[in-house]
């Protein structure tokens, strides 16, 4: 019988479980995971989300991007932050658009947290407060400059729980975020 908080010998909420998953995931080229988050310019009439964030980057060299809705688990946040501490380039791909037409952007992740960044509010675009969105953010991702990329740049990526390429997963799923990795096996 397994003790509380354990699954088949692995910690339920610890990095051990994630590492075990990575070790046994067939087709992974690297252990580095990245984050994909969907966003919209039109949902709250905030204007150009990417430009608003890059204006803060111009002034402060970094910006906090708030993720609305469903949150990332503590173990996934811990995994991303561990990669960053190990100096593994870790990226967030921000995907604008609907399931038929997506426009991706890329930024290097500096840190990820569920906590509101009280001491760095100057790194949050003003529309979050103006539109009263701060309380709805479930995760904060601190990033550098955000640049537009092409969907073709993501052709070798798949989500950690799919055999299909990211582009197909984006068209099939309505999930607000995914963890992705490069894969040898794309169907």
pTM of the entire structure? Answer: 0.79
As a whole number of angstroms, the distance between CA 164 and CA 56 comes to 35
Residue 123 neighbours by CB under 8 Å, 6+ apart: 56, 60, 62, 63, 64, 117, 142
Q: At 21, which helix (H) or strand (E)?
A: helix 15-24
Q: What is the band of 147 on the pLDDT scale with cuts at 50, 70, 90?
A: very high
The answer regarding whether domain 30-182 maps to CATH 3.10.590 reads yes
* Distance of alpha carbon 79 from alpha carbon 3, whole angstroms: 23
Mean pLDDT, residues 156-170: 78
Q: pLDDT-derived band of residue 181, with 50, 70 and 90 as boundaries?
A: confident
**Percent share of the chain, pLDDT over 70:** 79
Binned at pLDDT 50, 70 and 90, residue 176 comes out as confident
Mean pLDDT value of segment 148-166: 84
- To the nearest whole percent, how much of the chain has pLDDT over 90? 53
Q: Report pLDDT for 17.
A: 43
Predicted local distance difference test score (pLDDT) of residue 128: 97
Report the distance separating Cα 34 and Cα 157, nearest Å: 9
pLDDT at position 102 is 84
* pLDDT band of 70, cuts 50, 70, 90: confident
């Amino acid at each position: 019988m397994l003790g509380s908080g354990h699954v088949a010998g692995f910690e339920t909420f610890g990095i051990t479980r994630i590492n075990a998953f990575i070790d046994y995931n067939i087709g992974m080229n690297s252990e580095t995971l990245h984050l994909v988050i969907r966003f919209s310019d039109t949902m709250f009439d905030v204007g150009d989300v990417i430009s608003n964030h890059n204006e803060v980057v111009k002034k402060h060299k970094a910006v906090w991007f708030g993720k609305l809705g469903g949150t990332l688990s503590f173990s996934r946040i811990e995994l991303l932050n561990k990669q960053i501490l190990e100096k593994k380039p870790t990226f967030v791909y921000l995907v604008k658009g609907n399931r038929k037409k997506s426009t991706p952007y890329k930024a290097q992740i500096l840190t990820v947290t569920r906590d509101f960044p009280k001491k760095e509010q100057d790194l949050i675009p003003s529309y979050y407060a103006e539109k009263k969105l701060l309380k709805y953010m479930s995760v904060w991702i601190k990033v550098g400059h955000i640049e537009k990329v092409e969907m073709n740049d993501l052709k070798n990526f798949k989500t950690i729980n799919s055999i299909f390429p990211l582009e197909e997963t984006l068209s099939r799923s309505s999930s607000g975020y995914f963890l992705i990795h490069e894969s040898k096996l794309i169907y």
